[in-house]
Structure 1
Amino acid sequence: MNGRGSMKAALGVALTLAAAPLAAAEDERQAVFERYLDFAAMVQGGSIEPNWLADGSSFWFADGGPADRVIWRVDPAADVVEPLFDVPRLRAAIAEAIGHEPPYAGVPFETFQLTPDGATASFALEGGRFSLDMATYKVEAQPAPAATPAANVRPGTFPRRGYFSLPVPSPEVLSPDGKWYATLIDENVALRSAADGSIHALTADGTFDDAWDVESARLTLGAGITIAYVPFTPWSPDSLKLWATLTDRSKLPRKGELHYMETLERIVPRPFAVAGGHLDHVRPHILHVLSGERIAVDVDTEDCYFVLLGWLPDASEALFARFSRDFKTVDVMAARAVDGSVRTLFTETAETFVKIQHDVVSFGNAGFTALPDGSGFLWESTRDGWNHLYLYRNDGRLERQLTRGDYPVLEVQKVDQENGWVYFTAHGEHPRVYDTHLYRVALGGGAAQRLTQDEGQHAVGFSPSLAYFLDTHSSPGRAPRVDLRAADGSLVRTLSEADTSALESLGWTPTVEFSVKAADGETDLWGVMHRPYDFDPGKRYPVLEYLYAGPQIVATDRSFSLGLSKTQNLPRAMAQLGYVVVTLDGRGTPERSKAFQDVIYRSWGKNEIADHAAAIRQLGERHPFMDLDRVGIWGHSWGGYYAFAALAQAPDLYRAAVSSAPGYNPYASLLYEPYLDLPERAKGAYEFASPYRLAPQVQGRLMLVGGLADFATFPEFMRMSRALIDAGIDHDQVVLPEEGHGYTGVAEDYFIRKLAGFFETNVMEAER
């Protein structure tokens, strides 16, 4: 071998040896990334599911997995926490009954039924049902129940189209007397017998273009996670009447939902209301179950949205809210069941918008809570500049404002009318303006009392007796803990603390919170920062930002975030690939003052990227480990809109963007009219909000991602792609066949893989 060959061989060996540790480090980082996509799997405990007992205060919960499960009984009044079962005795009794040892070493079942007196527990095991005498620990097989029609009747689901036309499975609604399930069949209202499953039609004239609907749980799929909200039952308290609506969509234009997985492509037409055009024409009715009579509610139904609020206890009237299409006005009204005549309880107006449209229209939540005795209700309003509670009587008389101050009420949790308290959650602490705590205020008036203590997010669940509540709390960098507290907030005991040992053994750098100034130099903004598991403050890391920036939600998760989808875990997971990942909420978003949110009004697209870019620059000045020469951004839905806008409005900072399911078109009526006003009154606002004009200004690398079956936004995806082509702007496309607005299963995995690869090439490995 000549000298040159020896040198080349030696160099090859050296390069191979140098590459080996690098490859191993990359493999480790990829493995950690994948584990973080299922973040909840690395944390045990820190949550419990209470099963309340007959006294309304005691409960049991299951702890641990199949191998070591324990069922704990909690008696708050006696301050007792003890195993409900003697596990060795239980397992021995079960073994005698089934003829062999039950599996594992703990309680071999997770759910069971306890009689009100606590004397007998019944459970299912290995395909059979058994009863346990709690005194003698004798286990006996239970005979199979007699086959009856009622035994086979289970609550089903029915498709609801709502204002976005996409059918979503919704649960049938049981009547208060337990005899009937309200459902929809072929666009008509029907009753299904809870006794034998027989169907009784209440309407027969519903069609695709003029369809009936009844209220049920609202379910929606977005960003890979199902969100549910349970509004008010359509049933009257006497089970004799139903609130139902008839919706005419015949004048709406159609969008095409595209399907290419068949021999011939299939296009499903979806009615879609356009800003300034026709709306879904909704006409409320009251259906009488016994007579079959249907009473049209006597109210103006043009250019408005309706939300059921509930029924009076005597079933004489149904309460509802009517919102103007621009959301500047809401009328709270009552309709008489006998003739449909209507009285107005009160009207509220705003210069911008009175409520968040997604809360009202998507989830049926208008901020209304009935008093338990039916004598009045609580109403949430931002009329004094913050979201607060107001006590009304059923005649529309305002009795008093219950809460006040520079903080927003989030949600009423419970009303304890017997003891005179309203329990609610709020962002009531300064300067930590997004911490969520439980408070209570007297129905008779007075100062609100804070009932939870630790910094962070508190989610509460009350006992049926309202004497106690479970407080599950955490922060971005603190794992969850469950405390049992009395109704006055005093601590009874801690029941569960999360075990993060598996996470710590893998590698974990706690998420940190931060505050910065908005682009105006005055307004405080808050966010969180995720760092790699092997974070070294002496190194320089590329930066990614995840944003949403839509005006109806805050995007920053300020809890420890367990149990979420891969897509929702993505900001924390992406940090494990060697990035610093930032999320924050800028001006124009909710859960602050009304003025903070109203920044969006008629100004869509003007302040959002300015705020986010200002925040990233401030963080870069504060933290030398952030490499602001390598910054990328991504978002989904309206976040996709703003991720795209970042490359046009702040190209000196953002060098790459992933725009996923982007909602570019500002002419979707329900989504934009409340924030931009009506097109005939705000033409300039709509023109500015349309991002197609920005296509020639895009710099850096852009990847568009969309689901082919997302009829609302995929046409906008293609229109933007064409605008970029016309402007000579290179960009990437990722099209996901059969996917809608949220990606699931293998499509979600593919999206994540493409996003990670895109940022690796265009941010991580980019020249500094």
Structure 2
Amino acid sequence: MRYMRKDRCFLMILLCVPLLLPAQKANYGAAGKYDVPELEKVVGSMELVPFFINETDKCWFHWEEANGKRNYYFVDPDKKSVRLLDDKPEPKTKPVNEKSHLPGDVSPNRQWQLYSRNHNLYLKKAGDTVESQLSRDAQLYYSFCINEFDTSTTHVLASEAHWMRDSKYFYVVREDNRKVQTVSLMHAMAARPWIETKKYQYPADKDVTQYELFIGNTQSRQLQQINISKWADQAIAVVHATASDKEIFFTRKKRTGDEIELCAVDLATGHVRTIIHEVSRPYINPDLFAVSIIEGGKEIIWWSDRSGWGHYYLYDSAGNLKSEITPGNWTAGRIVSIDTLKKELYVYGYGKEPNRNPYLQHLYKVSFDGKKQTLLTPENAHHRVFFSPTGNYFIDNFSRIDQEPKTILRDKKGLFICDIIKPDLHSLYATGWKMPEPFMVKAADGITDLYGIMWKPYDFDSTKKYPIISQVYPGPQIETVWPNFTVFDKYNNTSLAQVGFIVVVMGHRGGSPYRNKAYATYGYGNMRDYALADDVSGLQQLARRYSFIDSSRVGIIGHSGGGAMAATAICTYPDFYKVAVASAGNHDNNIYFRSWGETFNGIKEIADTATGKVSFRFKVEVNQSLAKNLKGHLLLVTGEVDNNVQPANTYRMADALIKAGKDFDMLVLPNQNHHYEGLYKTYYENKVRHYFGKHLLGE
């Protein structure tokens, strides 16, 4: 009986063995096989960029095969033909006018030179030895020179200098950064470590860039400063209008980011008139806002999201609204081409086609009066087009995350002319590579559709349970949910998945300007936390939908804004996210770019009624305040000389974790900027794989 009891106990142990088997092993070999440098060996070009010949419809392009060989092709739309060339076409150049070698910026009639020396502005007639000094107050950080730090010779002007067609007038914008404060970075890897210092503006800084606009006259050889002031710390930008010799156009934008005006300056008198005044709260969308001046100002095309969707509007020269050019519940994006004779606009659009991913980019032709809208790229895919100089044809590159790329030629009506080329992906598929899978979940509100992409291990077994890693970027200017076909996704998610994870990316409310205004501005005033609930909700939905996802082993990784979000997430939902990698995160937006923080988080304008002076207040939640909540494993990463998201962001988070008595890991990549390169990038990605392997797979 005693032996029988032992046998029964032994049998019970055997029955329990599956529960005691070693944890799933990390497959670092597969991760290396599908790393970007390895995939690059079997993949060539994915889409083409045309080089049009002598302002005609004919063009050539280069195309790399998977073996690295570069071929050259010639496209003739009239013959509907594409042929392989023996070699790269030689560019046909016009005879060089020796005056084109004159220093500085030369007038259209080639009679005048405009240049700077010792920061000041000079004018000289071509071939003359007499120069006119137009300014005498310029200095470092208050300069007319494109290269402020080199004053030994004569230089071209900054890009904001521009001649009018008659060569009589020109305009130039000067920035005043003399009072703007600086930040510094230590370059420790130099033979003698040195400190790099540059001007850098923080949100709510008292002293920020000031803008000045000048009009110059070659006949009087005078430079007139134009009174453009309206709002404290306003930003201005000149709007190009080649067909006008009477006025120049510029926008001025309020520091709070919610008001903008289009103005015109009379070249002869310097008088400023306001044409369009737009108020859009909480902010004017900086990624999609655009303005085009038609026929020297007779008509104006103006982008606005006043209807709740981003669209273009047509105004007359006095600022009277004539029509909405692109009405409807969809978003009008970048203008590709304008036909002023036929009064038609060629524009990218998002979300107009039903039952399609709203991030897919389509090309539309719309009439100025808004009565006719024509889809020119009907395929259910993401389209990137190039018009020929005549406007008679365009090249259409299109693909989808789950659809191979293809390039075709269309006429201006969108009609198919001929196939041009498509990539040969046989070598890629021969490695075992598979396309990632698109998916859709609901936001935490249970209503809003969120779009995502999933990568699986290529030895995927649906009967197994896999940890899931959310690769995040909260926006608000872009979501890293690629709509087009990709092999080398920006964050190397293909390789990470091969270790033994399900890797996903998904959008979050507030993440993109390409949806409606409510979606785009969802995160305003809550820059740290707005994307978190949607990420948690999306991951939970995926775990309920797919039995192979283990919701008890959740990781999160991000870079830049995604790095900040990863750290926020693991400290806000410490029982949900078990592992986080926060790379180059802007953990403290008090010390990140002024324009970014003030626009997307908001800044309050405070007026002193006694003095009339205006000040600004910025308030944002920071990750340091969450450090006390950390339970899981957190890896902080920064580049030593990151001049975008300064290392101070990561150091402040590390300091808060230390003071909270929290265990965490940290990696500083020497001599690396915001984007890691070479062996440092390889080291970082290997570190990420092993970090998740250790803490999610228990290797």
Q: Tell me how far apart the structure 2 counterparts of residues 577 and 177 of structure 1 sit (CA, whole Å).
A: 64
Q: Following TM superposition, by how much is the alpha carbon of 1:524 offset from its aligned partner in structure 2, in angstroms?
A: 1.1
String of CA shifts for 1:310-344, please: whole Å, max 9, x gaps. Answer: 13523322211111011110011112233432111
1:194 deviates by 11
Residue in structure 2 matching 1:353, options 283, 298, 318: 283
Matching residue of 1:700: 632
- Cα shift at 1:290: 7.0
Q: CA RMSD in A?
A: 3.6
1:728 and 2:661 are equivalent in the alignment? yes
Matched, 1:460 2:389: no
Residue matched to 1:545: 470
Checking the alignment, whether the CA contact within 8 Å between 2:27 and 2:498 is kept in structure 1 is no
Of 292, 306, 312, 2:236 maps to: 306
Amino acid in the other structure paired with 1:429: E
* Other-structure match for 1:74: 75
Residue 282 of structure 1: aligned partner: 211
SS of the aligned residue for 2:407 comes to strand
Residue 754 (structure 1) aligned with residue 676 (structure 2): no
- Aligned partner of 1:583 in structure 2 is 505
Give the superposition deviation at 1:585: 1.5
Where 2:496 maps in the other structure, the secondary structure is helix
Q: CA deviation at 1:724?
A: 0.6
TM superposition shift of 1:419: 2.9
**C-alpha deviation, 1:289, in angstroms:** 5.9
Are 1:528 and 2:463 counterparts? Answer: no
Q: Distance in 1 between matches of 2:444 and 2:68?
A: 54
Residue 569 of structure 1: CA displacement?
4.6
How far, CA to CA, are the matches of 2:48 and 2:494 in structure 1? 24
2:672 to 739, 750, 768: 739
Counterpart selection for 1:656 from 579, 591, 605: 579
The number of equivalent residue pairs is 647
TM-score, normalized by length of structure 2?
0.83
**1:72-103 CA distance string (max 9 Å, x none):** 433323323345x6xxxxxxxxxxxxxxxxxx
Provide Cα deviations, 1:689-748, integer angstroms capped at 9, x if missing partner: 222111101221111111222355211211111111000111122112333323233333
**Aligned twin of 2:57:** 57
Q: Which amino acid aligns with 2:510?
A: G
Contact 1:707/1:735 (8 A) holds in 2? yes
Contact 2:387 2:395 in 1 (8 A): yes
Aligned-pair CA distance for 1:386? 0.4
Question: Could you tell me how far 1:460 is from its partner in structure 2?
Answer: 0.5
Give the counterpart letter for 1:315 in structure 2: D
Q: Tell me the alpha carbon deviations over residues 246-279 of structure 1, each in whole angstroms, 9 at most, x when there is no partner.
A: 3233333322222223465433333333323322
Change (3 A) 1:292 1:259: farther
1:124 corresponding residue in structure 2:
none
User: Which blocks of at least 5 consecutive residues in structure 1 are unaligned?
Assistant: 1-21, 86-106, 117-144, 156-171, 216-229, 360-364
Q: What is the CA–CA distance in structure 1 between the aligned matches of 2:408 and 2:437, rounded to whole Å?
A: 23
- Identity value in percent: 27
- 1:591 positional shift: 0.8
SS of corresponding position for 2:535: helix
Aligned CA distance change for structure 1 residues 115 and 263 (closer, same or farther; 3 Å): closer
Output the CA distance in 2 between the equivalents of 1:694 and 1:232: 44
Selected match of 2:521 from 574, 578, 598: 598
Q: How far did residue 450 of structure 1 move?
A: 1.0
User: Following the alignment from structure 1 to structure 2, what is the Cα–Cα distance between the partners of residues 532 and 190?
Assistant: 64
Q: Deviations over 1:639-684 (max 9, x none)?
A: 1111110111222221111111111223243222223322567x9x
Check whether the contact 1:709–1:738 (CA below 8 A) recurs between aligned residues.
Answer: yes
Question: 315-324 vs 736-745, which deviates more?
Answer: 736-745
Change (3 A) 1:265 1:62: closer
Q: Note the 1:285-364 alignment, pairs <5 A.
A: 285-288=214-217, 292-300=221-229, 302-311=232-241, 313-356=243-286, 359=287
The 8 Å contact of residues 58 and 76 in structure 1, kept in 2 or not, is answered as yes
Q: After the TM superposition, which of the residue ranges 500-509 and 536-545 deviates more from structure 2?
A: 536-545
Report the CA distance between 1:212 and its aligned residue: 3.6
Change (3 A) 1:606 1:260: closer
The 2-side partners of 1:173 and 1:513 are apart by 50
Q: Which runs of 5+ in 2 are unaligned?
A: 1-23, 148-157, 607-614
Q: Which amino acid aligns with 2:585?
A: P
The Cα of 1:30 is off from its aligned counterpart by 3.6
CA deviations 1:339-392 (Å, max 9, x no partner) are 432111110002211222xx4xxxxx7411233665323111101000001112
Question: Which residue is equivalent to 1:471?
Answer: 396
Alignment of 1:637-716 (within 5 A): 637-667=560-590, 668=592, 669-679=594-604, 689-711=621-643, 712-716=645-649
Q: 1:43 matched to which residue of 2?
A: 43
Cα separation, 2, equivalents of 1:662 and 1:68? 39
* Secondary structure at 1:295 match in 2: strand
Equivalent residues in 2 for 1:7-406, closer than 5 Å = 26=27, 28-34=29-35, 36-37=36-37, 39=39, 41-54=41-54, 56-63=56-63, 71-83=72-84, 107=86, 109-113=87-91, 205-212=137-144, 234-239=162-167, 241-262=169-190, 264-278=192-206, 279-288=208-217, 292-300=221-229, 302-311=232-241, 313-356=243-286, 359=287, 366-371=289-294, 375-406=298-329
Whether contact under 8 Å (2:43, 2:428) holds in the other structure is yes
| Residue range with higher mean Cα deviation, 599-608 or 410-419 | 599-608
Cα separation, 2, equivalents of 1:422 and 1:340: 32
Aligned position for 2:490: 568
Q: Which moved more, 1:40-49 or 1:395-404?
A: 40-49
2:142 maps to a residue whose letter is D
SS of the aligned residue for 1:740 comes to coil
What is the correspondence of 1:476-495 to structure 2 with a 5 Å cutoff?
Answer: 476-495=401-420
Q: Give the deviation of 1:514 after TM superposition.
A: 1.1
Residue of structure 1 aligned with 2:354, choices 430, 434, 440 = 430
Structure 1 residues 355 and 237, CA gap change in structure 2 (3 angstroms): farther
Q: State the SS of the aligned residue for 1:250.
A: coil
Give the aligned residue type for 1:658.
Answer: V
- Measured after TM superposition, the shift of residue 181 of structure 1 is 9.1
Structure 1 residues 503, 183: closer, same or farther in 2, change over 3 A? farther
The match for 2:441 among 516, 519, 541 is 516
